Amino acid sequence: MNTDPIKVTVIVPFYQRETGILQRAIKSALAQSLRPGVELNILVVDDGSPLSAKDELATLTVPSRHELRIVSQPNGGPGAARNKALGLLSPETTKYVAFLDSDDEWQPYHISTALSALDGGHDFYFCDHFRYDSEQSWLERSVVARGWKSGTREPAPVPLDRWEDIFSLASQPAFDAFVEEYLSQTSTVVYRFDRHPTLRFDTDLRSAGEDHMFWLSLARKSSSVAFSTRKNVLCGRGVNIYFSALDWDSPDAVARNGYLLIFRLKLRQMGLTSSQAAKIDVQIAEDGKTLAYLLARNVAKGRTPDWHVLSQVFKVSLPQAVGLPLRLLPMLSKRERNRIAAKRQSA
């Protein structure tokens, strides 16, 4: 009988400016209610953070049953930080990987619920979650999840034996659902690392889409996917490069929308059905218009274009890269016509 402990590695990318956030996240991991024989290996990757992860955790006491390790790297974004941690693991010693963003917190039964689902033969698990600024949970607002619940979307997930709030999906329906929607926030995901040890985040997608692409790849490679409607994760309000760029006046808005365009261009290459491809093509067209508009706004404000994201668009799709100036010029000329007209009216 194998009595070796079951290792769950918790990967925490860290880039924050407010003290105390990281300790709250790690304490929520250490407070997990775990069955005997399950141990946590918490791996914090300091991604060139303004605050030092080492300093933030200097006073934290870690039970001897678990392990806490801090590694550092120059700032590369959350995907690169998670890849750094994944590269340090071995499938011989790590069976499961769980992700926890440094400003999020787990409820006490998050990991035990995930292991119950994964031990049933699934490779990929996620659960529902709350954001600090929303009264409804993520799955309560999800069109896909509401379709499953009402019976209007098929195939419907199958409840697991003995569980009323944990469901199973075959690989293809799970992939299809993720094509349509971003269903699992990063801190809700636990997966079988020993079955997928080479899977990594796409660092071409620095500030948008890198985790969504990982879930799509994992769903496609997995034998089956499980999810829970339990709200076992609370997402906090620390540094978030995606949500902080939602304001179109933000200097980061061009990068965010550029990476969304790159994400959909890459998704388009994943062997989609004709119906899925048609929907993604519409989104790509809208993304291109939005990116051109934001570039025009930035140029008009005297801001230097984000050459890195534009070079990534060029690398993924030459036609899209060439098309951006063609969309940009009419916008700039219209602004100039408006400026001249306004000047004449004031004369």
Four-residue CA torsion sign, 125, 136, 141, 239 = negative
Strand partners, 130: 234
Q: What DSSP element (H or E) covers 134?
A: none
| pLDDT tens-place string over residues 34-57 | 999 999 999 999 999 999 999 999
Decide: 284 and 261 in contact? Cβ < 8 Å: yes
d(CA 266, CA 183): 18
6-235 is classed in which CATH architecture?
Answer: Alpha-Beta Complex (3.90)
- Residue 4 in this model has a pLDDT that exceeds 70: yes
* pLDDT tops 80 at residue 287: yes
Rounded to whole angstroms, the Cα distance separating 331 from 18 reads: 39
**Residue 222: its pLDDT value, please?**
95
The full DSSP string for 81-96 is: HHHHHHTT--TTT--E
Distance, in Å, from the CA atom of 180 to the CA atom of 182, rounded to the nearest integer, reads: 7
Residue with tokens 């953070």: 49
Distance CA 52, CA 40 (A): 22
Instruction: State how far the Cα of 100 lies from the Cα of 28, in Å rounded to an integer.
Output: 10
3-state SS, residue 342? helix
User: Among residues 173, 167, 132, which one has the least CA distance to residue 153?
Assistant: 173
Residues 140-154: tens digit of each pLDDT: 999 999 999 999 999
Which band of pLDDT confidence, cut at 50, 70 and 90, is reported for residue 243? very low
> Which residues on neighbouring strands pair with residue 284, listed in sequence order?
none
pTM (whole model) above 0.85:
yes
For 213, residues 6+ apart whose C-beta sits below 8 A from its C-beta are 201, 202, 205, 263, 266, 267
* DSSP conformation class of 239: -
- pLDDT-derived band at 335, boundaries 50, 70, 90: low
What is the identity of the amino acid at 126? F
Q: In the prediction, which pLDDT does 204 show? A: 87
| Rounded Cα gap, residues 75 and 209, in angstroms | 18
Using only C-alpha atoms, the chain has a radius of gyration, in whole angstroms, of 22
Residue 303 DSSP label: P
Pairing between β-strand 6-14 and β-strand 96-99 as defined by DSSP bridges: parallel
pLDDT at 248: 52
Give the pLDDT confidence score for residue 345 in this predicted structure: 58
Both tokens of 306, joined, read 């984000």
Sign of torsion over alpha carbons 173, 175, 181, 186 = positive
Domain boundaries, the chain: 6-235, 244-346
135 neighbors 46 (Cβ within 8 angstroms): no
| Rounded distance between C-alpha atoms, residue 124 and residue 268, angstroms | 23
- Provide the pLDDT for residue 180: 95
